[in-house]
Amino acid sequence: MRYYAGVDLGGTNIVAGIVDDNYRILSKAAKKTSLPRPGEEICADIVDLVKETAKIADIQLSEVTSIGIGTPGIANTDSGVIEYSCNLGFNNFRMADIVKSHINIPVYIENDANAAAYGEFLAGSAKGANDAVCITLGTGVGGGIIINGRIYSGFNYAGAEVGHTVIDPSGPECTCGRKGCFEVFSSATGLVRMTREAINEHPGCLMAKMAQKDGKVSARHSFDAMRMGCEIAKDVCAKYIKYLSLGITNMINIFQPDVLCIGGGVCNEGDALLVPVKDIVSKEVYTRNSPRNTRIVIASLGNDAGIIGAAFLGLNKRR
């Protein structure tokens, strides 16, 4: 049995785990990222977490085959340099070399959304596929693309930014500077914005009462109120699902993957989200008359996807 260390480096937490050949996470440990601070300190914490998880898993550090790190931003998988990460404040930061200088084990880096997609491809809802697209609906819309079993990241390591494809050029401005991006409409942040706009227009609706009780507008309020019969909430959910379906249709039309996997907190809505999305996509997709079409599924690994995918970045490199 071989063992691998996977690290999910986020703006809030650093989570590491030891994963075996069967994609089982044997141990996990976490620390606060505590930004802003020097990257060298973050690297030292990553090393400490790998050592801690090896100890918890009851294996020797020498038994760890490699360390993979999923990081926000543009990760040069050849040089091991994080070329840019606005979340972490990195510019041309030699993360792989610095981590390896503390611990003589091969180190690989990759964009965090790509690593999570690879985890779902290896052990989650996209397992068994040859080509897969994974979309995460969170603060933004993250994306990961697997082609012929390998992570696709483009010639400049910045590929799969699916959230920054435009759905409606007259829509709200995105953080990237464009207007009407997929991310503006289909992220959890976008759902909160649409819910807030509806509450402002209809202050007596059920969503408004929920928000007042909770002290803030949540992405859950629209779906919860919709299930309770609120007509305003039904309109918000229908609008959200329509835009999400348009973005998914675009991804399918471009890549024609075996599987398209949707993750993120919004997916906790289950069939209330998935069933209407599938219905719209089946009518919109270019291959609607084909006997074979992309399966649309909900991600199954949750936050573990990033750890598992990162752990096997060495495998992706060899492929």
Quote the tokens at residue 174. 């995105």
pLDDT mean over 176-186: 94
* 88 vs 9: CA distance, rounded Å: 9
Q: Are 188 and 266 in contact (CB under 8 A)?
A: yes
Domain segments of the chain as ranges = 3-121+304-318, 128-298
Instruction: Compute the average pLDDT of residues 68-95.
Output: 94
The whole-number pLDDT of residue 274 equals 96
- Rounded Cα distance, 316 and 319, in Å: 5
Q: In this predicted model, what pLDDT tens digit does every residue of 9-22 receive, in sequence order?
A: 998 899 999 999 99
Residue keyed to tokens 């996997």: 261
Residues whose CB falls within 8 Å of the CB of residue 272, separated by 6 or more in sequence, listed in order = 223, 226, 227, 237
Whether the pLDDT of residue 260 is over 90: the answer is yes
Q: Do domains 3-121+304-318 and 128-298 have the same CATH topology?
A: yes
Q: At residue 317, does pLDDT exceed 80?
A: no
For 105-109, 174-178, 184-188, 208-212, which range has the lowest pLDDT when averaged over its residues? 174-178
pLDDT mean over 145-158 = 95
Q: Two tokens at 26?
A: 């044997």
CA distance 278 to 283: 9
- pLDDT higher than 80, residue 96: yes
Domain 128-298 sits in CATH at: 3.30.420.40
Q: According to the model, what pLDDT value does residue 282 have?
A: 96
The confidence score (pLDDT) of residue 286 equals 96
Per-residue model confidence as pLDDT tens digits over 101-114: 999 999 999 999 99
pLDDT of residue 250: 97
Task: Give the per-residue pLDDT at 11.
Answer: 87
pLDDT band at 3 (very low <50, low <70, confident <90, very high): very high
Q: Classify each residue of 166-187 as buried b or exposed e, where b means 16 or more C-beta atoms within 10 Å of its C-beta.
A: bbeeebeebeeeeebbbbbbbb
Distance (Å, whole) CA 168 – CA 68: 37
- CA distances to 180, 194, 207 from 200, rounded to whole Å, are 21, 10, 10
CATH number of 3-121+304-318: 3.30.420.40
Given this model, what pLDDT does residue 305 score?
Answer: 95
The long-range contacts involving 314-317, CB below 8 angstroms and separated by at least 24 positions, are: 314/4, 314/65, 314/66, 314/68, 314/106, 314/108, 316/108, 316/110, 316/118, 316/150, 316/151, 317/77, 317/108
Residue type, 222: S
Q: Count of CB atoms within 10 A of residue 116's CB? A: 32
